[in-house]
Chains A and B, each alone.
Chain A
Amino acid sequence: MKRRSLLATAGAALASAPLSRAFAATVVGVTATEIKIGNIMPYSGPASAYGAIGRGHVAFFKRVNEQGGIAGRKINLITLDDGYAPPKTVEQARRLVEQDQVAFLFNPLGTPNNSAIQKYMNQKKVPHIFLSTGADKWGDPEHFPWTMGWQPSYRTEAQIYAKYIMKNAPNAKVAVLYQNDDFGKDYLIGLKDGFGAHYSKYVLKEFSFEVTDATIDSQAVSMQATGADTIVTAATPKFAAQMIRKVYDMSWKPLHFLTNVSASVGAVITPAGVEKAVGIITSAYAKDPTDSTWDKDAGMNEWRAFMKQYLPEADVTDGGYVFSYGACTTLVQVLKQCGDDFSRENIMKQAASLKNLVIPTLLPGVTINTSATNYHPIRQMQLSKWNGKTWELFGELIEGTGA
């Protein structure tokens, strides 16, 4: 009895995976007519605003399918809700991999959420690509060859600030405020990469805070007391808004670099006070849908046309849709490069073989490059300054240091 069921399973596996007969490559979730892709998003819970990204994905692949699919196959995107809770992410990832048998996971959202499934995905050798998080650890092909990020990492961003400071303010005295977790510490590491041997010359002192703290006032006071004239704030929106206001209230006017995690006009700048944030510098890699610079931009027109046709009800000022469009366009390129070999090995290989890929929603000049040793697809950013009304891009594209 046992043997017969075993044989039956083997037979079924053979029948469903004709491509895998010849060599060791594993084809799962791809048939002659379909490519099955998994995705996990916080459609409910505290981070549910990011659910827009998932809705963008669904609309995007609807368009891909209407235009004939990829290599004659329709995309079947299964997107599940984890409520931004890592245990739930694990459950959904297992469901997608074991029950739904998807070819790979695309763009699951959240640093703690992806941390929770990274080991599992790599053990199962299922591609876990273009994650919706800026942690630096997604670019570690040596230890996690099946995981790859997409957006510039926090570390890259910090490297870029350091580069800018060294070039434009060589006598700067820097104080750093960072959140005492993976996110905040990535910035410290990035600043250390960027300043290199000059780190101690530039950085007077680093100040940490816990997400459970009520305020960062004490840290702000200490930072001013160090005599710093430049500050780098690596804080989530609530503390970033507090910092902007406290610095203003202390009548302190340092050159202020703010993580782009907290550059949201609605969630940070407006609550803190638009006039209090004037002069703050952050960085961007994608076009801002609210920036009038891109009103006649071909890439953004393409995006707007897509939004109008496939997501007519959606809020077009929500950057989540721009993000989604960029990530999906990158994925389409990977699938096209796969040719007719949709084994997991080849999908991962092609994800790591992107060369000077231009994405319509990214800033002009930003290109996507990956290789077997570079799992950081986007590594260029441009700085932008808050002028009281909007973020204004300035200067050239700056590329992060190191790999």
Chain B
Amino acid sequence: MDGFIHQIVSGIASGGIYASVALALVMIYQATHHVNFAQGEMAMFSTYIALTLIQAGVPYWAAFCITVPVSFVIGALIQRVVMEPLAKAPVLASVGVFIGLLLTFNSVAGWIFTYTLKPFPSPFGEGKPLFGGFVSRHELGSTAVTLVVLLSIWAFFRFTKLGLAMRAAAYNPVSSRLVGVPVNKMLALGWGLAASIGAIAGMMVAPVIFLDPNMMAGVLLYAFAGALLGGITNPLGAVVGGFIVGIIENLGGAYVVGTELKLTTALFIIVVVLTVKPAGLFGKTLVSRV
């Protein structure tokens, strides 16, 4: 029984990792209606920036507070420099760019920071695990951070005019422009915010799985599954989806399909969701007039 509870708790912990990356995916999707394959690599790169700052002697939270806006600027710059010329290009062109960005960030990180595994500090301290040894301090802390980020995003889209304008710009650029929404600025803002959320996710993930240029490769896939399961248009859905994927993956791996098919489980979830309920559990079905 202990083993079962431990598996669930450990599933929630990995689910928290997937959820935080899934949030960044939702953010970029809400803002641009694209899924950015390079999201994970951008987050990894931001995490290296944070590590560099920490190694230079900057205290953790200060490094955190510097990394987030720096990532915002990088994200916005990418939109301005790389994505904007493609604004009218077909989706496939954007996908090509996303993959290009993925490879670029990965190689540049390897080149600058080397491929050697690096430990990343946790702001929540090492200490003894809590609740009878089931949960580490970091797992608890990072889950809390994910929830705070979730709340902020939800509130941002729900209660602020800017959030509304961003959603409008992504959903219907032409009409938005007509009612005075600066669409290009909104897109850059969306990229920046997604990059910031990715940076937070990276800093929460790195203490658990260690930092190296390929850190996000595995995580991103599960994050996709989580985001799709919960609904890629809904931040809450993405977080719930991330947690569910984490738990299913752990329980499935331990008791049902065996460890060899853990990854397959995630892919299976993606396929099932796309076939049965493409909008995800919490997503709204969007109807576009053609």
Q: Which residues of A contact B (CB under 8 A)?
A: 45-49, 180, 207-210, 212-215, 217-219, 221-222, 224-225, 237-238, 241-242, 249-251, 266-268, 270-273
Contact = CB atoms under 8 A, between A and B. Distances in A.
Contacts of A249: 129, 136
18 contacts: A46-B115, A49-B115, A180-B259, A180-B260, A212-B217, A212-B218, A212-B221, A214-B209, A214-B222, A218-B7, A218-B250, A219-B259, A222-B3, A238-B212, A241-B210, A242-B209, A268-B117, A270-B119
A218 B260 contact: no
B17 interface: yes
B219 A214 contact: yes
B210 A242 contact: yes
Contacts of B212: 238
Contact of B14 (A217, A268, A273): A217
Contacts of B174: none
Contacts of A212: 217-218, 221, 263
B155 interface: no
B277 interface: no
Nearest to B129: A249
Contact of B133 (A48, A251, A271): A251
Contacts of B253: 218-219, 222
Given A213-B263, A225-B3, A271-B117, 19 more contacts: A49-B114, A210-B260, A213-B218, A214-B14, A215-B209, A217-B14, A218-B254, A219-B253, A219-B259, A221-B3, A221-B250, A222-B3, A222-B7, A241-B117, A242-B208, A242-B210, A251-B133, A270-B119, A272-B119
Contacts of B33: none
Contacts of A49: 114-116
A190 B6 CA distance: 31
A38 B210 CA distance: 37
B117 A215 contact: no
Contact of B11 (A213, A218, A267): A218
Nearest to B137: A249
Assign chain B's interface to a size class.
Answer: 35 or more
Contacts of A210: 260, 262-263
A242 B207 CA distance: 10
Given A212-B218, A214-B209, A221 B119 contact: no
A271 B217 CA distance: 20
Interface string B240-259: 00000000011001100011
Contacts of A271: 117-119, 210
B10 interface: yes
A250 B249 contact: no
The 9 closest A-B pairs by CB, nearest first: A225-B3, A271-B119, A218-B250, A214-B218, A217-B10, A212-B218, A214-B219, A221-B6, A208-B259
A242 B210 CA distance: 8
B68 to A, nearest CB: 23
Interface in B96-135: 110, 114-119, 129, 133
Contacts of A237: 117
Contacts of B117: 237-238, 241, 267-268, 271
Contacts of A207: 259
Nearest to B205: A214
Nearest to B249: A218
A273 to B, nearest CB: 8
A324 B204 CA distance: 40
B13 interface: yes
Contact of A267 (B13, B18, B116, B262): B116
A221 B133 CA distance: 12
Interface string B1-24: 011001100110110011000000
A49 to B, nearest CB: 7
A225 B2 contact: yes
Nearest to B11: A218
Contact of B6 (A214, A215, A225, A242): A225
A88 to B, nearest CB: 15
From A208, A212, A215, A249, name the one whose CB has the most chain B CB atoms within 10 angstroms: A215
A266 B116 contact: yes
Nearest to B10: A217
Nearest to B216: A214
Contacts of B213: 46
A213 to B, nearest CB: 6
A212 B208 CA distance: 15
Contacts of B115: 46-49
Contacts of B10: 217-218, 221
A250 B133 contact: yes
Given A207-B259, A242-B210, A214 B133 contact: no
Nearest to A222: B254
A221 B7 contact: yes
A215 B208 CA distance: 8
Nearest to B14: A215
Interface string B209-233: 1101110011101100000000000
B138 to A, nearest CB: 9
Contacts of B116: 49, 266-267
Nearest to A273: B119
Contact of A217 (B13, B219, B258): B13
Contacts of A221: 3, 6-7, 10, 250, 254
A252 B21 CA distance: 30
A216 B95 CA distance: 31
Contacts of B133: 250-251
